[in-house]
A and B are shown apart, each in its own frame.
Chain A
Amino acid sequence: MKKVKIYVTLRESVLDPQGSAVMGSLHKMGYGQVEDVRIGKYLELMIADGEKDIDALVNEMCHRLLTNTVIEDYRFEIEEAVSQ
């Protein structure tokens, strides 16, 4: 069993109005040091051991469903996990 942690972020070329709104609030709260806020997604998958290479499997799922590579980048970490 593997625990896969996937981080999805908006590509740099894509504007993030949500991030801008949050930055505006942070500034109003006095955190003027904040120069940029980008909001992304975090996904956690528990994947049973199988024949297919886990990296290839995660990449495939990211491309087919979990992310839209027109606007998003992703990276992931794989950890050993114990089945529950």
Chain B
Amino acid sequence: MKFAVIVFPGSNCDLDMYHAVKDELGEEAEYVWHDSTDLSKYDGILLPGGFSYGDYLRCGAIAQTSAIMGEVKKAAEAGKPVLGICNGFQILTEAGLLPGVLLRNKNLKFMCHTVGLKVENAHTMFTNQYTQGQEIRIPIAHGEGNYYCDDETYEKLKANNQIVFTYEDDFNGSRNNIAGIINEQGNVLGMMPHPERAVSDLIGGSDGLGLFRSIVKQWRESHVTHA
């Protein structure tokens, strides 16, 4: 499976994302610069964390206007897996690929530590290697991870099982502790925690591996080679 790691000016988790896919998963990965206009050869799209365009105006707002985002939308419409982590999640909401928005943390602080997450929906192409309700530990590193949406959107997210991960504790103010959501179609996931930083026990944990393995498993099952 071939992944594109989209690189914006100010992305800083692109290397970790690449490492997770290439070295830990053994799949193919390539960096794709934000002004590229073709993602057709990739099977999965990864939007890494960081501070694209210095988070000017609003986090993710300027990145959303990049040439590559038109291609990301096309890939999403085609049903390819699109994963946005941290700043990637913020970009996906600004681009309208996911509902809601990420606000400043309620305590106004940048927070960087490992948190407990609950897998709320283990039946997605991103979570099939976890069990429903499983508790996993994944690092967070954000100043703007306070997920906000209106009541109507929240009810819709709940009814469609679009809430994929929640925090065990409320530390950033997110509505109903939401840590990650999926689009209605089920192929675009945005989450604030960093699974790409939890892919090896040597560096503090491997609970994030399941997410990447889920994507690959789903892809293999739907792309059986007829030799």
Pair from one complex: yes
Chain A residues in contact with chain B, CB under 8 A?
13-15, 17-18, 21, 64-66, 68, 70-71
A71 touching B101 in the complex, CB below 8 Å, given contacts A17-B108, A17-B173:
yes
A12–chain B nearest beta-carbon distance, Å? 12
Contact bitstring B54-77, A, C-beta under 8 A = 1, else 0: 000110011011000000000000
Q: Bound complex: CA of A68 vs CA of B64, how far in Å?
A: 12
Within 8 A of A (CB), among B73-94: 93-94
Chain B residues contacting A13 (CB-CB under 8 Å) are: 150
Chain B residues in contact with chain A, CB under 8 A?
57-58, 61-62, 64-65, 93-94, 100-101, 103-108, 148-150, 173
Residues B65 and A65 in contact, CB atoms below 8 Å apart: yes
Q: Bound complex: CA of A68 vs CA of B101, how far in Å?
A: 8
Residues B58 and A68 in contact, CB atoms below 8 Å apart: yes
Chain A residues contacting B93 (CB-CB under 8 Å) are: 70
Residues B57 and A14 in contact, CB atoms below 8 Å apart: no
Residues A18 and B148 in contact, CB atoms below 8 Å apart: no
Residues A17 and B107 in contact, CB atoms below 8 Å apart: yes
A6–chain B nearest beta-carbon distance, Å? 12
Chain A residues contacting B94 (CB-CB under 8 Å) are: 68
Question: A21 contacts which of B57, B64, B108, B149 (Cβ < 8 Å)?
Answer: B108
Residues B61 and A71 in contact, CB atoms below 8 Å apart: no
Q: Bound complex: CA of A38 vs CA of B106, how far in Å?
A: 14
Chain A residues contacting B148 (CB-CB under 8 Å) are: 14, 70-71
Q: Bound complex: CA of A17 vs CA of B104, how far in Å?
A: 8
Residues A66 and B104 in contact, CB atoms below 8 Å apart: no
Q: Bound complex: CA of A56 vs CA of B80, how far in Å?
A: 35
Q: Bound complex: CA of A33 vs CA of B93, how far in Å?
A: 38
A42–chain B nearest beta-carbon distance, Å? 13
A66–chain B nearest beta-carbon distance, Å? 7
Question: A70 contacts which of B64, B101, B105 (Cβ < 8 Å)?
Answer: B101
For the complex with contacts A14-B148, A65-B61, 9 further pairs of A-B residues with Cβ separation under 8 Å are A13-B150, A15-B103, A15-B173, A65-B65, A66-B57, A68-B58, A68-B94, A68-B101, A70-B93
Chain A residues contacting B104 (CB-CB under 8 Å) are: 17-18
Q: Bound complex: CA of A21 vs CA of B149, how far in Å?
A: 22
Chain B residues contacting A21 (CB-CB under 8 Å) are: 108
A17–chain B nearest beta-carbon distance, Å? 5
Ordered by A's residue number, 28 sampled pairs between the chains whose C-beta atoms are within 8 Å are A15-B103, A15-B106, A15-B173, A17-B104, A17-B105, A17-B106, A17-B107, A17-B173, A18-B104, A18-B108, A21-B108, A64-B65, A65-B57, A65-B64, A65-B65, A66-B57, A68-B58, A68-B61, A68-B94, A68-B101, A70-B93, A70-B100, A70-B101, A70-B148, A70-B150, A71-B101, A71-B103, A71-B148
